[in-house]
Amino acid sequence: MRRRYPVSRSSKCIAVLALVGFVPVTPARSDDRPAGPRVYKGRVIAPVMTAEGGGAEWLERTDRDATEQPDKVIEALKIPRDATVADVGAGTGYFSLRIAKRLGPEGRVLATDVQPEMIRQLTANAKKAGLRNVERILATPADAKLPAGKVDLALMVDVYHELQDPERTMAQVRRALKPNGRLVLVEYRAEDPEVPIKPEHKTLLRQMRYEIEPMGFRLKEVFEFLPHQHIEVFVKDEVKGEDPLVDAEGFPTIRRPGWAGADDDELYEQAGFARLFSGRELDGWDGDSKVWRVRNDAMVGTAGRAAAGDAALRSRAAFGDFELDLLWRLSSSDASAAVGGGGESGFAVRLDDGVPYAAGYPEVIAARRTGEVTIGDDAEPLRAATDTAKAVVLPGEWNRLTIRRSGDRVSIAINGVETTAFTSPGKTEPSPVRLQPVRGAVEFRDVWIKRLEQGRVP
């Protein structure tokens, strides 16, 4: 019989937290099952850490507060104090007890684990801390025991990479989430080879999107303040009838034209987009020929070559409300580029090279390009150099940039993830699109634009 959980009479949000390494244990292997590590979409699934194998000691290690900063993680997620938090894979209660203390008597923690020994230790720790708002639940490998449609936040800290059946488990998590629910994954960065943990316990953000988004989620934001881990926030994606990610290598080639991007020209045309660049010549554009040229179907601009100091390439056509969709790539390791609407009413997105991937990491190991939004030509920058922008840009590869302006509202997305949105204090009359290298060389291709109905955000 399926276990039912009482629901508080007050309106409470439920958050789910799945913690380090304690997820459904691998079932016994039948004789005809191949030996060796399991692989999911090209990623080797890590073995599950068990209580008997030293997992309990690892969860209570002395340096964990410094490296995983649980209080800061909980604060960043902005969990309401009257929330009901289900801590799935709670282990010894490292996060459960901290969340219970933060919530206070109005909140409640449902701490689950599939290992009886972990539940035993968690119970002892909760009793020692004097916490009465922690409910312990022994789950099973086949059933996460999450109440359907009641969960506001599902957090897995160093857990997802150990899921032995990712699709089955994540389907249960998605079913438990409310329509506006969030999924938060904390995973060790495979992008940084210096992170001190075995490779099978690290993941690439690109790979995570490749796996998670087809399951019915969409990446919303990323926090990078932890020294070794990504904090990846996904939202439940209700969009129907869209193609999933093609493959990890080709990412981002996802979904529909516009906000998330697509590879098929016909899809853009059907969606009302028009090309701004033919791929053969700079017809329809004005700029210094010393700065701009066409190479391999891309517009290439090199900073520092403009005779009069103006390196911008401007479209002859002007646009009021629009959605601009293009691919860009920095052509050299010290290059930067700016793109956006020209004139005093325009804006630019500056992508600066050499910004550390996370504080404390050598730039040669983890350099990233970040976003910086400027309103007008000389205005004070409005920074979009968020952790999300740092994380979603693919260094040295083609990246998709989408800029949407509707009235005085501007939104910018990199690789299908919104990295900034703001209200422009400048004018909103039509202006040309402006592409401008800042340092080094930058390439642009597949430049599409769609005129929007005035004042209407699609």
Lowest-pLDDT choice from 182-196, 247-261, 280-294, 321-335: 247-261
Q: What is the number of domains present in the chain?
A: 2
pLDDT in tens, 107-166: 888 888 888 998 999 999 999 999 998 889 888 777 888 888 888 888 888 889 988 888
Looking at the fold, whether 221 and 270 belong to one and the same domain comes out as: no
The overall average pLDDT reported for the chain is: 74
Residue 458: inside a domain, yes or no?
Answer: no
Please state the rounded mean pLDDT for residues 299-328. 83
Q: Give the integer Cα–Cα distance in Å for 16 and 137.
A: 13
- What is the pLDDT, as a whole number, of residue 427? 56
Question: Tokens 């929007």 belong to which residue?
Answer: 452
- Cβ neighbours of residue 448 closer than 8 Å, sequence gap 6 or more: 257, 268, 273, 274, 275, 276, 324, 325, 326
pLDDT at 342 over 70: no
Q: Give the integer Cα–Cα distance in Å for 48 and 50.
A: 6
Q: Give the integer Cα–Cα distance in Å for 259 and 121.
A: 47
Looking at the fold, whether 220 and 331 belong to one and the same domain comes out as: no
Q: What is the largest CA-CA distance in the chain?
A: 78
- What is the pLDDT, as a whole number, of residue 454? 54
Domain of residue 296 covers 265-451
Looking at the fold, whether 113 and 202 belong to one and the same domain comes out as: yes
Looking at the fold, whether 228 and 99 belong to one and the same domain comes out as: yes
- Pick the last residue of a domain from 216, 236, 256: 236
Looking at the fold, whether 216 and 321 belong to one and the same domain comes out as: no
- What is the pLDDT, as a whole number, of residue 221? 92
| Amino acid occupying residue 151 | V
pLDDT in tens, 226-265: 999 999 999 988 654 444 433 334 433 334 444 345 566 7
Other beta carbons within 10 Å of 444 = 23
Looking at the fold, whether 70 and 194 belong to one and the same domain comes out as: yes
pLDDT in tens, 268-304: 888 888 999 988 899 999 999 999 999 999 999 887 7
Looking at the fold, whether 293 and 194 belong to one and the same domain comes out as: no
Residue 9: inside a domain, yes or no?
Answer: no
- What is the pLDDT, as a whole number, of residue 378? 38
**Of 415 and 104, which is predicted with more confidence?**
104
C-alpha of 455 from chain center? 29
Residue 164: inside a domain, yes or no?
Answer: yes
C-alpha of 259 from chain center? 15
DSSP state of 200: G
What is the value of pTM for the model shown?
0.74
- What is the pLDDT, as a whole number, of residue 69? 95
pLDDT at 326 over 60: yes
- What is the pLDDT, as a whole number, of residue 424? 65
Lowest-pLDDT choice from 83-87, 209-213, 280-284: 83-87
- What is the pLDDT, as a whole number, of residue 1? 34
Q: Give the integer Cα–Cα distance in Å for 242 and 254.
A: 9
- Pick the last residue of a domain from 221, 236, 251: 236
Other beta carbons within 10 Å of 446 = 21
Looking at the fold, whether 230 and 94 belong to one and the same domain comes out as: yes
Looking at the fold, whether 269 and 186 belong to one and the same domain comes out as: no
- What is the pLDDT, as a whole number, of residue 201? 94
Q: Give the integer Cα–Cα distance in Å for 155 and 99.
A: 12
Looking at the fold, whether 278 and 365 belong to one and the same domain comes out as: yes
Residue 244: inside a domain, yes or no?
Answer: no
pLDDT in tens, 34-64: 455 789 988 999 988 888 888 888 888 888 9
Q: Are 339 and 349 in contact (CB under 8 A)?
A: yes
Please state the rounded mean pLDDT for residues 180-196. 91
Residue 219: inside a domain, yes or no?
Answer: yes
Res. 105 pLDDT band, cuts 50 70 90: very high
Q: Which of 352, 349, 413 is nearest to 375 (CA)?
A: 349
Lowest-pLDDT choice from 358-362, 393-397, 402-406, 421-425: 358-362
- What is the pLDDT, as a whole number, of residue 295? 93
Q: Which of 102, 96, 63, 87 is nearest to 14 (CA)?
A: 87
Cis ω on the peptide bond leading into residue 356 (within 30° of 0)?
A: no
Please state the rounded mean pLDDT for residues 410-434. 75
Q: What is the DSSP string of 385-428?
A: --HHHHHH--TTS-EEEEEEEETTEEEEEETTEEEEEEE--S--
| Amino acid occupying residue 164 | Q
Q: Looking at residue 440, which CATH number applies to its domain?
A: 2.60.120.560
